[in-house]
Amino acid sequence: MLILGIYLCFFSNTFKFSLNLLKYNNLDIDKQHIALIILDVMMPKMDGYEFTEYLRNCQNNIVILIFTAKQLLEETCKGFLVDTYDYMVKSVNKEEILLRMRALLCHSQIINKHKLHIGKSL
């Protein structure tokens, strides 16, 4: 299994809760370094596409990986059209998602900029 390093992870099931979680943990999305957001398309009140559009409208270029059960080509295209970095259809194995996360972070130059270390676990 690949390891990406040590991360602080937050889990949320709604857009409003996500923003409140960021706010109450002093994680102002414009001021703090958030390396990657993994989200599902199917969330209540605001879906993953709308959440991505919201972030992009705030001039935010956070790496976003959509991880969802929606597998139609139209859904995948919609994900990329709202400017997500990658789109994965459930179910995937852990190694695949870690490899994709590594590739996304490498391509966004976050790994080099913030000195994240990627390697094999023991």
Domain ranges of the chain: 35-117
| pLDDT value of residue 1 | 38
Selected from 3.40.50.720, 3.40.50.2300, 3.40.50.300, 3.30.413.10, the CATH number assigned to the domain covering 35-117 reads 3.40.50.2300
pLDDT band at 85 (very low <50, low <70, confident <90, very high): very high
- The string of DSSP letters for 51-90 reads HHHHHHHTT---EEEEEES--SHHHHHHHHHTT-SEEEES
Q: Quick check: 48 and 40 in contact, CB under 8 A?
A: yes
Predicted structure pTM score: 0.67
What are the pLDDT digits (tens) for 38-83? 888 888 778 889 888 888 887 777 888 998 898 899 999 999 999 9
